[in-house]
Structure 1
Amino acid sequence: MILKSIRLENFRIIEEAQLDLGRRLTLLSGANGSGKTSVMEGLSITLGSVLTHLPEVSGRAFSKTGEEIRQFENKKAPYCRISIETVQGLKWDRMQKRDKSRNTARLLPSDGCGVRELHRYVDGEMIDPINRDEKFLLPVFAFYGVSRALLNPPYTRKGFPKTHQRLEALQGALEAHVSFKSAFIWFYNKENEEFRHKQAEQSFEVTLKELDTVRRAIAGMFPDISEPHIEVNPLRFVVRQGDELLDIMQLSDGYKTLLAVVIDLSRRMAMANPHLDDPLAAEAVVMIDEIDLHLHPSWQQRVIGDLLKTFPNTQFIVTTHSPYIIESANNNLKRHQIRNLSIESEEIRQLVPLDPADTSAYFMRGTEGVEPLMDTELGLLDDRLIEPFNQLTMLFDRMRDIELGEIQ
């Protein structure tokens, strides 16, 4: 399931906005409070309808207090609504009413489609195959908010579940945080399962495909990290960096923030579609708020490309304050334009080509709506975040000129 568009009405700060989503990448930039996170929350709430309809999985919904309904001049709008359409043409929407009065009811739109078609789709494509024990593709959704660096590893094995069900891949997936504790427990149990297979086959070469999926994702995103595994006494998730074995909690915030996302996402994809040769190549919708969070500028320049390469069929929807992120996306777009030319530079050859047709970008303007940043003629992004950066350097240049006596 890949999303084609989202429409928001009276949702938080946004009065009305229609966003066409890129098949591979959608970038949202803008000032603080401009509505970037509102779009992510709106997607999460609407996708929550899929999760809620599945057995033993909880999704997201509007708050009972109606705090998502847009407020203007101390007055709430009659309703808020979020509508989604997939590339397959499936449509559904979620609506929250201000109250149950008749006057409010008269102001509600009459063109809503609700979730009936969605439920019919989920029944036919997911629930019925589960009941018939048939193979099917389970779509993965995940939302990672700005609190994703706050990990919660367990410190004791007490209460660890012994088995895992396929639909656990979606449990808590839209809650805006990394479920690192769940990933930790899953990794621990899978390592024990892998060890039993090694003993049975009497070979240390035997590995478990689900674990290999996570290991490959980590290797693809972190070339300097290897040997991810669980150690006990004390209980901890350990990786090798250089010549040292380090507890993941000893890593810098940049490493922890991104590594936790990669572990959680690849674990969900391995659980969701274990029958696939490469679960990382399955379709997924992943939202990452402030993708540049805690990342050094040099890392910001490659994180988009690394994600696109490691998860080749995932639709990424991300927000950013960083011109490095925007410009790195332009490098990937330019790489697509010269994909058929002879290129000697290894640095350029390693860039992931990004088709402009699979890319969207918007500058969020709060109550003023959204502004597309994709120049369809050039196939590149208009980087509005460069302007304040240039202003900063210009101010420095003016002071330097004063110092040199060139300006009196």
Structure 2
Amino acid sequence: MWVEEITLDNIKCFDKQYIRLGTTKECFPWITLLGENGTGKSTVLQALALLIAGPEGAKQLLTRPEGWLKTESIPGKISIKIHQSENDPAQFGARKERKQFSYTFYVTGNQKLTINNKVFTEPVIAEDTNNRILPWLRENALLPKGKGWFGAGYGAFRRLTRENRILVPALQTPLRYTNFFTQFREDRALEAFETWMVYLDYRISKSKDDKIAIRQKEWGIKAINSLLPEGNEFDSIDENGKIWFKVQGSKVSTVALSDGFRSILALAGDLIWRLIEAFPESDNPLHEVGIVLIDELDIHLHPTWQRTIAGWLRATFPKIQFIMATHSPLIVAGAGEDAITYRFFRKNNNIEVELIKNIHAWSVDKILQSEAFGLVSTFSPETQKNIDKYYSLKKKKKLNDVEKIELQATIPFVKEAYAELPSENSLDLKIEKFLSEKLK
């Protein structure tokens, strides 16, 4: 399963917003959402989660969608178009098999609203009962438990538990809506990786011929190792069920790992387990098609890791459609040539979304100083203020005595910023003049 488009009508900060996430024939494999806090990036990811979770799952994730309507007197709508992949089971249509499906969920508020002749008096998520496709999807694709049709989402507060693990029973097949728990519940730890790995290790210790457990453990270790920086790798599981990693030559347990390591382990480990559960008969579940939503991928990650994490995720899960939000130019630059970047910004008391093109080859400075980040200065506010003052005074043909003193006071800041004062015709001077005007 992959997503071609999503539309939000009267949802939170959006009047009406359409976002293309693929063509009619293929998905965009990596979509980055950029924008300041409060511009709707998380809302889009949550709306996608609700739609992919299915009607019953959406109601479990958001039992009372209070605050989801921009205007309380009319219903909100979230609509999606998804495509069926090769290994997603079931067939729609006897003569001509259908592969793309569109459906809508309605959102209500505290005022009385009527949808499809049904009256609602409190906040709920309601499916479009006039859509003949949705009943088929809920029975064949968007099942509470089922194979294929994979989607998962991860909020900004994803993390491993801080508790030591003792041997535990097998994990049960997850309910579909739990794939998106951390997008809506900040208190939910991602325990699947630790529980699953310990259980597999236990099975292997009891039966050396358990080929399924051996293969799944190998997949898990390989995937985790591929996402860790060089010099870091999975080490072992001890007799007490504690998982150990080699971190630059030292053995460290999961409970003692840094937040950056734990964030990636929590996300990747949980994703691997859920892919295996969704595609139990696959020769390699990590290479199956699906949708993964990630809010603030850069959180807790060192800049060197931010620079490479997108490439590692794409190499480890090559057929996953990643849709993620970030505040990091390093994540944007590392996503690849075919990645799509959208910028969310405020205009006339509304949120608008624009496509940013050809960003993959830019430097971090250029990305920050582009429309992608709203022409943000790469200098500190104090330094930028003095640079602006310097260029403003340099443009004047004649300075009075006070302005001459002010100009001299800015020179140390400009020299520190550029190592030396730029010449009158330098590119730095021209760029900073342009940015100084834009940033005012």
Could you say whether these structures have the same fold, taking a TM-score greater than 0.5 normalized by the shorter chain as the test? yes
**Residue type at the aligned position of 2:356:** M
Aligned to 2:151, what secondary structure does the other structure show?
Answer: strand
**Residue type at the aligned position of 2:343:** F
Match of 1:281 among 284, 287, 292: 287
How does 1:358-373 map onto structure 2 within 5 Å? 359-366=339-346, 367-373=349-355
**Residue type at the aligned position of 1:25:** W
Structure 2 residue 11 is matched with structure 1 residue 11 = yes
* Alignment-derived partner of residue 246 in structure 1: 252
Q: Is the 1:20–1:360 Cα contact (8 Å) retained in structure 2? A: no
Could you tell me how far apart the structure 1 residues matched to 2:137 and 2:212 are? 39
* Alignment-derived partner of residue 266 in structure 2: 260
Match of 2:32 among 27, 30, 35: 27
Distance apart, 1:142 and its partner CA:
1.4
Identity %: 21
| Higher-Rg member (1/2) | 2
Is the alpha carbon distance of 1:291 and 1:65 closer, same or farther for their aligned partners in structure 2, counting shifts above 3 Å?
closer
**Residue type at the aligned position of 2:105:** R
How does 1:208-247 map onto structure 2 within 5 Å? 208-222=214-228, 223-233=230-240, 235-247=241-253
* Alignment-derived partner of residue 376 in structure 2: 388
Is the alpha carbon distance of 1:83 and 1:245 closer, same or farther for their aligned partners in structure 2, counting shifts above 3 Å?
same
Distance apart, 1:327 and its partner CA:
2.1
What are the Cα deviations for residues 81-116 of structure 1, in whole angstroms up to 9, with x where unaligned? 1101013421111112235736788999xx956665
Q: Is the 1:10–1:77 Cα contact (8 Å) retained in structure 2? A: no
Is the alpha carbon distance of 1:379 and 1:400 closer, same or farther for their aligned partners in structure 2, counting shifts above 3 Å?
closer
Structure 2 residue 80 is matched with structure 1 residue 84 = yes
* Alignment-derived partner of residue 91 in structure 2: none
- Structure 1: state its 5+ residue gaps: 53-57, 131-136, 334-354
Aligned to 1:208, what secondary structure does the other structure show?
Answer: helix
* Alignment-derived partner of residue 137 in structure 2: 121
- Structure 2: state its 5+ residue gaps: 84-98, 120-126, 391-408, 423-440
* Alignment-derived partner of residue 153 in structure 2: 143
Q: Is the 2:235–2:251 Cα contact (8 Å) retained in structure 1? A: no
What are the Cα deviations for residues 160-191 of structure 1, in whole angstroms up to 9, with x where unaligned? 4x3444x4274611112675323322222111
Distance apart, 1:364 and its partner CA:
1.0
Is the alpha carbon distance of 1:389 and 1:63 closer, same or farther for their aligned partners in structure 2, counting shifts above 3 Å?
farther
Aligned to 2:306, what secondary structure does the other structure show?
Answer: helix
The count of aligned residue pairs is 355
How does 1:68-107 map onto structure 2 within 5 Å? 68-71=68-71, 76-87=72-83, 88-99=99-110, 101=112
* Alignment-derived partner of residue 180 in structure 1: 190
Could you tell me how far apart the structure 1 residues matched to 2:234 and 2:359 are? 46
Is the alpha carbon distance of 1:277 and 1:232 closer, same or farther for their aligned partners in structure 2, counting shifts above 3 Å?
same
Could you tell me how far apart the structure 1 residues matched to 2:223 and 2:56 are? 25
What are the Cα deviations for residues 238-274 of structure 1, in whole angstroms up to 9, with x where unaligned? 2222332211121221111112111111111122212
Distance apart, 1:303 and its partner CA:
1.0
* Alignment-derived partner of residue 395 in structure 2: none
Compute the TM-score of the two structures, normalised by the length of structure 2: 0.70
Q: Is the 1:62–1:96 Cα contact (8 Å) retained in structure 2? A: no
Is the alpha carbon distance of 1:396 and 1:113 closer, same or farther for their aligned partners in structure 2, counting shifts above 3 Å?
farther
Could you tell me how far apart the structure 1 residues matched to 2:235 and 2:174 are? 22
**Residue type at the aligned position of 1:36:** K
Structure 2 residue 180 is matched with structure 1 residue 192 = no
What are the Cα deviations for residues 194-213 of structure 1, in whole angstroms up to 9, with x where unaligned? 22331x58xxx996111122
What are the Cα deviations for residues 329-370 of structure 1, in whole angstroms up to 9, with x where unaligned? 3xx21xxxxxxxxxxxxxxxxxxxxx3xxx432111255333
Query: Cα RMSD over matched residues?
Result: 3.7
Could you tell me how far apart the structure 2 residues matched to 1:316 and 1:376 are? 18
**Residue type at the aligned position of 1:123:** E
With 188-197 and 381-390 compared, the bigger mean Cα shift is at 381-390
Compute the TM-score of the two structures, normalised by the length of structure 1: 0.75
Is the alpha carbon distance of 1:94 and 1:102 closer, same or farther for their aligned partners in structure 2, counting shifts above 3 Å?
closer
Distance apart, 1:394 and its partner CA:
4.8
Distance apart, 1:118 and its partner CA:
3.2
Is the alpha carbon distance of 1:372 and 1:114 closer, same or farther for their aligned partners in structure 2, counting shifts above 3 Å?
farther
Aligned to 2:180, what secondary structure does the other structure show?
Answer: coil
Match of 1:36 among 38, 41, 44: 41
Distance apart, 1:218 and its partner CA:
0.8
Aligned to 1:29, what secondary structure does the other structure show?
Answer: strand
* Alignment-derived partner of residue 46 in structure 1: 51
Aligned to 1:138, what secondary structure does the other structure show?
Answer: coil
Q: Looking at both structures, which has the greater relative contact order when contacts are Cα pairs under 8 Å and sequence separation is at least 6? A: 1
Could you tell me how far apart the structure 1 residues matched to 2:235 and 2:130 are? 44
Is the alpha carbon distance of 1:310 and 1:156 closer, same or farther for their aligned partners in structure 2, counting shifts above 3 Å?
closer
Q: Is the 1:214–1:266 Cα contact (8 Å) retained in structure 2? A: yes
